[in-house]
């Protein structure tokens, strides 16, 4: 299972938009891995977690194509994790149809935020998505790929350019290269998704974090499932969350990677986010509960300039605990 970090910052970005603190100044000077957009990850090329406000920027910056995404998981309704306007660009005239229908998975309050600036609910048919409300503790299956339902927005016999114009003869591409098949057939994969309660946001907002287990697809080693824990934004896991995780351990699940909220950095411990010490403790506790594969990647993720050193110092600090910081563009291959 391939995990691509599209963004790794907390709400204000790192360097932060309006900030000239020492860390932000150093981040701008050094550039590279110190420049973090708002947190989001892509699994393989068809499962996206958190369509946040930087999705356009991060996909352009990293050269990532998300047109095959067929599952969109949303942790919670905070603005740095969900920007509903991103869905509008799935509409005809913005994206070249056909698009596969993307299942959008989140709790009811999270999905309730899928509306436009006038408060009108987004149109699933027009934007090719299907809302799928889930509850904490629920396990859902998603199958992607294969041949998709036809996109009714495609008119047969017409050259598929987004604006209806014929392909440019002057472009050095083979003739007909714009004429893609009307039905997209993509790689078939299956995922099981476990929805866990996050210690974050107001209780009625039902923030979540996820375990994603890939059970089918060409990335799997000898067909063995690959599993990742994606736990941002959350404070220390609740008893309810640990109970669900213990059940997964009981069922024989282990994580090939665990990615945990580290917003508070070297600052004090939190209840709605974690500091580095809390991340290290959680990584250890997952191991003690037999939830981590022996060679699991242990990641800290979702960083703020308030408390998080620059990437190089952060990497050195976390290395003594066997934990790695995420950075934008990091790709990790998660094994069984
Ligand atoms: Zn956040
Ligand atoms: Zn949040």
- CATH number of the domain bearing residue 279: 3.60.15.10
Ligand 2 center from residue 142 Cα (angstroms): 25
Ligand 1 center from residue 274 Cα (angstroms): 12
**Res. 176: pLDDT tops 50:** no
Ligand 2 center from residue 89 Cα (angstroms): 24
Ligand 1 center from residue 42 Cα (angstroms): 16
For 16-51, the pLDDT digits (tens) are 999 999 999 999 999 999 999 999 999 999 999 999
**Ligand nearest to the CA of residue 9, numbered in listed order:** 1
Higher-confidence position of 184 and 302: 302
Flag whether 189 is in a domain. Answer: yes
For 241-268, the pLDDT digits (tens) are 999 999 999 999 999 999 999 999 999 9
**Ligand nearest to the CA of residue 207, numbered in listed order:** 2
Ligand 2 center from residue 264 Cα (angstroms): 13
**Res. 163: pLDDT tops 60:** no
Ion ligand 2, residue ranges at CB < 5 A: 78, 233
**Ligand nearest to the CA of residue 50, numbered in listed order:** 1
Ligand 1 center from residue 38 Cα (angstroms): 8
**Ligand nearest to the CA of residue 77, numbered in listed order:** 2
Ligand 2 center from residue 153 Cα (angstroms): 35
Contact 261, 223 (CB under 8 A): no
Flag whether 154 is in a domain. Answer: no
Ligand 1 center from residue 73 Cα (angstroms): 14
Provide CB contacts within 8 A for 212, sequence distance 6+.
1, 43, 47, 49, 73, 191, 192, 193, 227, 228, 230
Q: How far apart are CA 317 and CA 55, in angstroms?
A: 29
Tokens read off for 121: 């609910």
Ligand 1 center from residue 303 Cα (angstroms): 9
Flag whether 20 is in a domain. Answer: yes
Flag whether 179 is in a domain. Answer: no
Flag whether 29 is in a domain. Answer: yes
Per the structure, the count of domains in the chain is 1
What confidence score (pLDDT) does residue 161 get? 47
Strands 139-147 and 129-133: unpaired
What confidence score (pLDDT) does residue 92 get? 84
**Ligand nearest to the CA of residue 38, numbered in listed order:** 1
**Mean pLDDT, rounded, for 179-198:** 80
pLDDT range class, residue 181, cuts 50, 70, 90: very low
Provide CB contacts within 8 A for 87, sequence distance 6+.
51, 114, 122, 127, 129
Q: How many CA atoms lie within 13 A of 225 on its CB side?
A: 16
In the three-class reduction of DSSP (H, G, I as helix; E, B as strand; rest coil), residue 87 is classed as helix
Ligand 2 center from residue 71 Cα (angstroms): 21
Higher-confidence position of 17 and 151: 17
Q: What is the mean pLDDT of the chain?
A: 92
Q: How many CA atoms lie within 13 A of 65 on its CB side?
A: 5
Ion ligand 1, residue ranges at CB < 5 A: 80, 233
> Is the N-terminal amide bond of 240 cis, ω within 30° of 0?
no
DSSP string, 32-63: GGG-B-B-EEEETTTEEE---TTHHHHHHHHT
Flag whether 165 is in a domain. Answer: no
% of the chain residues with pLDDT over 70: 91
Ligand 1 center from residue 176 Cα (angstroms): 44
Residue span of the structural domain in which 68 resides? 2-146+184-333
Flag whether 261 is in a domain. Answer: yes
Strands 324-325 and 292-301: parallel
Owner of token pair 């889930």: 134
Ligand 2 center from residue 262 Cα (angstroms): 12
Ligand 1 center from residue 78 Cα (angstroms): 7
Ligand 2 center from residue 78 Cα (angstroms): 5
**Ligand nearest to the CA of residue 76, numbered in listed order:** 2
Q: How far apart are CA 16 and CA 21, in angstroms?
A: 9
**Ligand nearest to the CA of residue 39, numbered in listed order:** 1
Ligand 1 center from residue 329 Cα (angstroms): 18
Flag whether 236 is in a domain. Answer: yes
By C-alpha distance, which of 46, 291, 9 is closest to 145? 46
**Ligand nearest to the CA of residue 14, numbered in listed order:** 1
Q: How far apart are CA 214 and CA 231, in angstroms?
A: 17
Strands 208-216 and 185-197: antiparallel
């Amino acid at each position: 299972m391939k995990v691509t970090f599209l963004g790794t910052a907390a709400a204000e970005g790192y360097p932060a938009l309006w900030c000239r603190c020492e860390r932000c100044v150093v981040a701008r000077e050094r550039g590279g891995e110190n420049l973090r957009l708002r947190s989001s990850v892509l699994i393989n090329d068809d499962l996206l977690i958190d369509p946040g406000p930087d999705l356009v920027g991060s996909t352009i910056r990293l050269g990532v194509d998300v047109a095959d995404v067929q599952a969109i998981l949303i942790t919670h309704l905070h603005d740095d994790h969900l920007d509903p306007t991103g869905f509008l660009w799935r509409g005809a005239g913005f994206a070249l149809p056909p698009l596969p229908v993307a299942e959008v998975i989140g709790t009811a309050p999270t999905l309730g935020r899928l509306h436009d600036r006038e408060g009108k609910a987004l149109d699933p048919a027009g934007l090719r998505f299907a809302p799928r409300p889930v509850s904490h503790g629920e396990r859902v299956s998603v199958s992607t790929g294969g041949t998709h339902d036809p996109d009714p927005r495609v008119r047969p016999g017409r050259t598929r350019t987004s604006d209806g114009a014929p392909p440019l003869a002057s472009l050095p591409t083979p003739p007909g290269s714009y004429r893609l098949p009307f039905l997209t057939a993509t790689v078939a994969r299956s995922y099981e998704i476990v929805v866990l309660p996050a210690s974050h946001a107001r209780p009625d907002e039902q923030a979540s974090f996820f375990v994603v287990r890939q059970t089918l697809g060409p990335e799997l080693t000898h067909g063995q499932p690959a599993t990742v824990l994606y736990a941002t934004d959350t404070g220390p896991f609740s008893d309810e969350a640990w109970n669900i995780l213990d059940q997964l351990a009981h069922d024989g699940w282990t994580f090939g990677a665990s990615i945990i909220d580290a917003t508070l950095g070297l600052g004090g411990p939190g209840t709605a986010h974690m500091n580095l010490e809390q991340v290290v403790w959680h990584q250890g506790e997952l191991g003690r509960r037999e939830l981590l594969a022996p060679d699991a990647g242990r990641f800290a993720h979702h960083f703020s300039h308030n408390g998080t050193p620059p990437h190089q110092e952060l990497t050195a600090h976390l290395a003594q605990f066997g934990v790695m910081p995420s950075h934008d563009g990091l790709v990790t291959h998660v094994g069984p």
